[in-house]
Amino acid sequence: MKVCIPTAGNEGLEATVYNHFGSAPFFVIADSESQDVEILENQNLHHEHGQCSPTHLLDSHTIKAVLCQGMGKRAVMKLQEAGITVYLTGTNTAGQALKDFTENKLLTLDASSACSGHH
């Protein structure tokens, strides 16, 4: 299964997980089975609050899950509408987040528990 992890850098699975999905400089696209990795630069990095367009970037990558440390309510709803499940991770690296995901250690994030503003 392909998952997306927002990161601060472009170091693949060694990259630090970024603290908020829409503002992440990069996205690591990882296959949880093969461990294949692709790195995407976030072209929508400086968006107005509530104007993040996560599905536009991920549409062509057949993502089924996002592993993140935080995300706004509208982004969660857009991803859910696209059939993408959002999971919360508290880990430092994309590799550890992926490992925790494959071991079913992450909780899902829904609109009721999402961030309500940039702080």
Per-residue confidence band for 57, with pLDDT thresholds at 50, 70 and 90? low
Contact 24, 42 (CB under 8 A): yes
Residue 16 makes CB contacts below 8 A (sequence gap 6+) with: 7, 8, 9, 92, 93, 94
Task: Tell me the backbone φ, ψ of residue 46, rounded to 5 degrees.
Answer: -105, 70
Per-residue confidence band for 103, with pLDDT thresholds at 50, 70 and 90? very high
pLDDT at 50 (0 to 100): 47
Percent of the chain as helix, strand, coil, to the nearest 5:
30, 30, 40
Return the CATH class of domain 2-113: alpha beta
Give residue limits of the domains in the chain: 2-113
pTM of the model: 0.86
Contact 6, 30 (CB under 8 A): no
CA distances from 3 to 30, 39, 45, 50, 119 (A): 5, 12, 19, 22, 26
Find, among 70, 73, 38, the residue nearest to 57 by Cα: 38
